[in-house]
Amino acid sequence: MANYDVIVVGAGNGGLCAATTCAKAGYSVLLLEKHNLPGGCATSFVRGRFEFEPSLHELCDESTNERMRSMNQIYADLGVKETFLREEMLYRVIAKGPNGYDHRIKATKEGFIESMEEAAPGCRQQMETLFELNYLFDAAQIYMDDCGGVSGMNPVTLLTKYGDFIRAAGNSIDKLLDALGMSEKAKSLTNTYWGYLGDPPRDLNAMHFISLLAAYVEGRPSMPYDRSHGMSLAILKVFQECGGEIWYNSPVTEFLYDDSGAAIGVVANGEAIYSKKIISNIIPNNVMNLSNSKFVKKAMRKLANARTLGMSIQTVYLGLDCSMEELGVDDYSVFVMGDPDANVQYDRRKDMGLYIVNCLNKTIPDASPDGTCMLFFTIPSFDGDFPADLKPQDYKKYKNALAEKYIRDYEELLGIDIRSHIEEISVATPVTFARYLSTPNGSIYGYMSQGWDNVVNRVVFKDLENKVKNMKFCGGHSLRGDGYPSAFITGEQMANETIAELKEGK
């Protein structure tokens, strides 16, 4: 009978990090993955002579404060070796419509403020204030961490010393930018990244958004030279060197519990495998579906049902038979907006409200063979956007029409010819992500971070939430919301909590 200290289910970013942290601490760890390669979203696929990056546009380190855990620190501590290439430019943003514009906004705090002031004169002080607020948010989060949970916090300190943090944590970015007296144009430019979190600015949590923006600006967006698949392989190498075991093609088909409802193992390949602890990199909805319902606590089901599933994405991957210079492209990230107002972008999202185009060769010049380049179109997709009544025989037609619509629009906007250079094309929809990741509705971001279910509330109340004994959750659906860094940080955090419990014999 197989028996481990820890079983980690799913080898996405969160699962890989959790498994490696536990293995490095000397515990026996089994990592179970349904596919034949690691990474989840952080993977790659090949068409002809092109190896495509399926998910990563750009990384941010998630923290600008040395005392808060960041991806870089986690990599360094685990001994994972990877080269990161940093971008000079944050984004080029093209907004259509009567008040439209076309600006390039630089990375680094100085570069960002300078280019924002140039694009929306008079906003310098407001931009400075955003960074000041972010430093306060960092300090407040460190205070909360130091208090060791909600019971150790002093509400008076929180309100007096970190009042703006509390206000920002409970308000939308729209309200915050209005309170700063920002012009419509400065707001529009500031809100460019709203699609990375998925809420329109009228609902988007101000604290979460400013932290994300500041992290991208100050840390500069980066890409691993070996791309996301290389990152997955690099961390897997450390995991295996530490004695960790990974089983591919091994979907977990059942979670096992003892009579008290404590998790004791899983079933994979028809075999029961037992462990003292389980870390799930798969979303709680699926864990419940794979558990005998008598062991699923009502509170856990209620929590999952009360939350809003995170957004999905439609993507068009292109391998072109010309270089980016021949194509006439010179930007890494271009945000194309149907209207300068980010709330309108969200409302019109089904008709090109917002899409992003990345040219990987700008950051990684040898990402594709000499004389070629790759483009990657990203279109946010929310619950209900994908036609539920689409018939299987019409799926190809749907994907072709989607690709053509966005490619044509971008050609016209930039005055370039993409279509006659297409050597390889692949289109992914929420259906692709649902199938590959096994997430409900193809959610790539776990649950939406919004309203009562925002990141601050999740972190503050985590110990009060209903828990399954011996089981923890890491990844995009966990405490910190979406994205690579969040998946890594929660992977490490859940591993450390698991290790502490193992040490205490809990």
Q: Which residues bind ligand FAD (CB under 6 A)?
A: 9-15, 32-35, 40-42, 55-59, 251-252, 281-282, 313, 315, 433, 437-438, 444-445, 475-476, 482-484, 487
For ligand FAD, give the closer residue by CB, 60 or 329.
60
In angstroms, give the least distance from the CB of 155 to ligand FAD.
33
By beta-carbon proximity to ligand FAD, the closer residue of 168 and 236 is 236
- Measured from the CB atom, is 117 or 226 closer to ligand FAD? 226
Produce one character per residue of 94-122: b if its CB has 16 or more CB atoms within 10 Å, e if not.
bbbeeeebebbbbbebebbbebbbebbee
Strand runs labelled E in 407-474: 422-428, 471-473
Unique residue bearing structure tokens 């399926």: 54
Distance CA 318, CA 377 (A): 8
Give me the least distance between CB of 268 and ligand FAD, in Å please. 7
Nearer to ligand FAD, 222 or 372 (CB): 222
Cβ closer to ligand FAD: 61 or 174?
Answer: 61
Angle at which helix 484-504 crosses helix 13-24, to 10 degrees, equals: 30
Q: How far is the CB of 224 from ligand FAD (least distance, A)?
A: 11
Query: For residues 56 and 219, is the Cβ–Cβ distance under 8 A?
Result: no
User: With respect to ligand FAD, which residue has the nearer C-beta, 13 or 368?
Assistant: 13
Contact 40, 458 (CB under 8 A): no
SS3 for 227? Answer: helix
Taking the complex as a whole, the smallest distance from the CB of residue 234 to ligand FAD amounts, in Å, to 15
Q: Which is nearer to ligand FAD, 210 or 252 (CB)?
A: 252
Cα 29 off chain centre by: 25
Of residues 134 and 312, the one with the C-beta less far from ligand FAD: 312
Strands, DSSP E only, in 287-405? 312-320, 333-337, 354-359, 373-381
Closest CB 434 distance from ligand FAD, rounded Å: 11
CB-wise, 140 or 444, nearer to ligand FAD?
444
Is the Cβ–Cβ distance between 22 and 472 less than 8 Å? no
Taking the complex as a whole, the smallest distance from the CB of residue 191 to ligand FAD amounts, in Å, to 17
301, 319, 312: which is closest to 446 by C-alpha? Answer: 312
- Write a three-state SS string for 365-425: CCCCCCCCEEEEEEEEECCCCCCCCCCHHHHHHHHHHHHHHHHHHHHHHHCCCCHHHEEEE
Contacts of 474 (CB under 8 A, 6+ apart): 14, 15, 17, 18, 279, 280, 281, 487, 490, 491, 493, 494, 495
The token pair that represents 229 in the structure block: 């698949």
- Decide whether 13 or 205 has the Cβ nearer to ligand FAD: 13
Residue 24 or 34: the one with the smaller Cβ distance to ligand FAD is 34
Q: In angstroms, what is the minimal distance from the CB of 261 to ligand FAD?
A: 20
Residue 16 or 177: which CB sits closer to ligand FAD? 16
Beta bridge partners of 45: 52
Shortest Cβ distance from residue 150 to ligand FAD (Å)? Answer: 25
User: Which tokens belong to 78?
Assistant: 């685990």
Distance of alpha carbon 427 from alpha carbon 438, whole angstroms? 18
Provide, rounded to whole angstroms, the least separation between the CB of residue 319 and ligand FAD. 17
**For residue 99, which amino acid is it?**
N
Please report how close the Cβ of residue 59 comes to ligand FAD at its closest, in angstroms.
6
Token pair listed for 75:
């990599």
Closest CA to 324 of 287, 284, 364: 364
In the numeric block, which tokens belong to residue 420?
């006659």
Distances (CA, A) of 258 to 274, 278, 363, 503, 504: 11, 13, 51, 21, 20
Min separation Cβ 380 and ligand FAD, Å: 10
What is the nearest approach in angstroms of ligand FAD to the Cβ of residue 241? 21
